[in-house]
């Protein structure tokens, strides 16, 4: 056991968080984490419910004298984003996370840490376990599959929860209170291709674009980070024109809600163009570094010999694909006119993959304005259909409209000022929070989202600030006391 993590303060939270790092829990595979939480509640002899889809609800009575306070629901999600560096050997369905302390931060070795949303889960369980805290009636809601489909909240049924206030513990900046979020939608294009014989006199190469920072496709979308799919495509289209390059396969990005960090392609090039082609690879790496190297300091665009593929993608589809990827809107589309510095609408071209006669392109669209999200979906659909793709939209969820007059928000602002001597910042977030869907099922809930400082979620650079976890914990305790 990593005793340095176990001994951090607040011990009650870090001890449980460490246990969570030892339980594999990628999205849609979090059953063992749900069982851990279920047994935790049963061990405490608290009413514990597992609903039809696998969400876990644990209810804790109020401390004496606080029975008439409004009931509070503490909500967090059990799954984590499974991202790793390409040189890291790790099976997210079997292996524990190798978490460690690095100065003021807790990090993981070559993988995502799972502090999103493991810290929220750990803090909630620590509240349930504590015997000295003062609070009204409590309910803990642990949802499944938040990261890849929000399956848990989409299938949450009315009548299971009684609380009037919901505290979502899934935000990532200590001292910030979130009262609204963007809605989202998945857009997928599927292009069928035929195969052609590899042109004679060709050599095969593997192109690798690696070392990008990636990150959360909502929270980090405005940071100017590179999208490996867009960058790889830029080179491939140019190489098609200059060197008669043919594409055999492509594999870029791995998760719809993460900015793609790596992209790989197997290509063939006429042997007579080898020297100029390889020079072009080096020149393109230098070009990217000149454009974006200040942000993407570890960017690499490399080549290496590959086994000759059995076939290549037909030329017509290849060209249509490259032009479509060029045309798909990506990144920040529009900033909010109402809240300064907040992204309103964005798109993340997350995955491009060729397999079994099809090329799939997966995008995640976000907007705090539902009509803008739908308009963006039509724009991307139009580009993809011109390339011969069949396009589907699914997984849509609404935004969460801010309520600046919220009673629990006023309480939380007052508690924060009294405890820390400064004002908490009230914000909306350009990411999906489960509040929007829960609030649609349980009408009238008073909701706020907050959490400790977590940097670079959804990437192997994920880290959580140790002292902010202590502030988050002490703040949570005071909120429960003052509801």
pLDDT of residue 3: 57
Residue 106 has pLDDT above 70, yes or no: yes
Kindly report, residue by residue over 371-417, the tens digit of the pLDDT. Answer: 999 999 999 999 999 999 999 999 898 889 889 899 999 999 999 99
DSSP reduced 3-state for 155: coil
Residue 1 has pLDDT above 60, yes or no: no
What are the C-alpha distances in Å from 389 to residues 141, 189, 319?
40, 6, 13
- Chain region(s) in the chain for CATH 3.30.70.360: 185-397
Kindly report, residue by residue over 131-156, the tens digit of the pLDDT. Answer: 999 999 999 999 999 998 899 999 99
Least confident of 54-58, 81-85, 187-191: 81-85
Kindly report, residue by residue over 240-251, the tens digit of the pLDDT. Answer: 999 999 999 999
Kindly report, residue by residue over 208-223, the tens digit of the pLDDT. Answer: 999 999 999 998 999 9
146 is catalytic: yes
Which residue is catalytic, options 19, 30, 79, 262? 79
Mean pLDDT in residue range 67-84: 97
- In DSSP terms, 190 is beta-bridged to 360, 390
pLDDT of residue 339: 76
Which residue is catalytic, options 116, 139, 145, 146? 146
Residue 46 has pLDDT above 60, yes or no: yes
Measure the CA–CA gap between 466 and 315, rounded to whole angstroms: 53
What class, spelled out in words, does domain 3-182+399-482 have in CATH? alpha beta
pLDDT of residue 337: 84
Average pLDDT taken over every residue of the chain:
96
Ordered DSSP codes for 280-340 = HHHHHHHHHHHHHTTT-TT-EEEEEE-PPPS-EE-HHHHHHHHHHHHHS--EEEEE-SSST
For residues 399-438, b (16+ Cβ closer than 10 Å) or e, as one string?
Answer: bbebeeebebbebbbebbeeeeeeebebbbbbbbbbbbbb
Rg (CA), the chain: 24
- Chain region(s) in the chain for CATH 3.40.630.10: 3-182+399-482
Kindly report, residue by residue over 414-462, the tens digit of the pLDDT. Answer: 999 999 999 999 998 898 899 999 998 999 999 999 999 999 998 899 9
pLDDT of residue 342: 87
Dihedral sign from CA coordinates of 305, 310, 314, 315: positive
Evaluate whether the domain defined by 185-397 bears CATH number 3.30.70.360.
Answer: yes
30 is catalytic: no
* Helix H or strand E encompassing 394: strand 390-397
Kindly report, residue by residue over 335-378, the tens digit of the pLDDT. Answer: 988 778 889 999 999 999 999 999 999 999 999 898 999 999 99
């Amino acid at each position: 056991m990593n005793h340095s993590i176990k001994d951090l303060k607040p011990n009650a939270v870090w001890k449980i968080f460490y246990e969570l790092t030892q339980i594999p829990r990628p999205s849609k595979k979090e059953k063992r984490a749900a069982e851990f939480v279920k047994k935790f509640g049963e061990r405490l002899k608290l009413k514990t419910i597992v609903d039809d889809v696998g969400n876990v609800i644990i209810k804790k009575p109020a401390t004496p004298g606080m029975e008439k306070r409004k009931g509070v629901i503490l909500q967090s999600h059990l799954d984590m984003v499974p991202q790793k560096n390409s040189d890291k050997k790790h099976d997210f369905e079997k292996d524990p996370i190798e978490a460690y302390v690095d100065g003021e931060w807790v990090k993981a070795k070559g993988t995502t840490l799972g502090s999103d949303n493991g810290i929220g889960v750990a803090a909630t369980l620590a509240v349930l376990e504590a015997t000295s805290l003062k609070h009204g009636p409590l309910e803990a809601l642990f949802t499944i599959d938040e990261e890849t489909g929000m399956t848990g909240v989409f299938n949450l049924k009315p009548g299971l929860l009684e609380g009037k206030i919901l505290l979502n513990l899934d935000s990532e900046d200590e001292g910030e209170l979130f009262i609204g979020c963007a809605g989202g939608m998945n857009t997928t294009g599927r292009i069928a291709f035929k195969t052609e014989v590899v042109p004679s006199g060709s050599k095969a190469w593997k192109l690798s674009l690696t070392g990008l920072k990636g990150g959360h496709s909502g929270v980090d979308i405005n940071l100017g980070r590179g999208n490996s799919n867009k960058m790889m495509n830029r080179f491939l289209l140019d190489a098609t024109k200059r060197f008669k390059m043919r594409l055999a396969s492509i594999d870029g990005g791995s998760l719809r809600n993460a900015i793609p960090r790596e992209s790989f392609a197997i290509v063939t090039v006429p042997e007579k163009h080898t020297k100029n082609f390889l020079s072009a690879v080096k020149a393109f790496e230098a070009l990217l570094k000149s454009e974006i190297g200040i942000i993407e300091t570890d960017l690499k665009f490399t080549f290496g010999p590959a086994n000759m593929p059995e076939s290549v993608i037909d030329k017509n589809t290849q060209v249509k694909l490259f032009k479509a990827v060029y045309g798909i809107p990506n990144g920040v589309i529009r900033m909010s006119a109402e809240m300064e510095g907040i992204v309103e609408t964005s798109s993340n071209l997350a995955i491009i993959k060729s397999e079994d006669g099809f090329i799939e392109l997966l995008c995640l669209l976000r907007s705090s304005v539902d009509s803008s999200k739908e308009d963006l979906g039509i724009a991307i659909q139009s580009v993809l259909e011109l390339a011969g793709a069949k396009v589907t939209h699914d997984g849509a969820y609404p935004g969460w409209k801010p309520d600046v007059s919220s009673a629990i928000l006023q309480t939380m602002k007052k508690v924060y000022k009294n405890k820390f001597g400064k004002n908490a910042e009230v914000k909306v977030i350009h990411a999906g929070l489960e509040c929007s869907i829960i609030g649609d099922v349980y009408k009238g809930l008073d909701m706020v989202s907050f959490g400790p400082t977590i940097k670079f979620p959804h990437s192997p650079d994920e880290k959580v600030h140790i002292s902010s976890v202590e502030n988050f914990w002490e703040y949570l305790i005071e909120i429960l006391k003052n509801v």
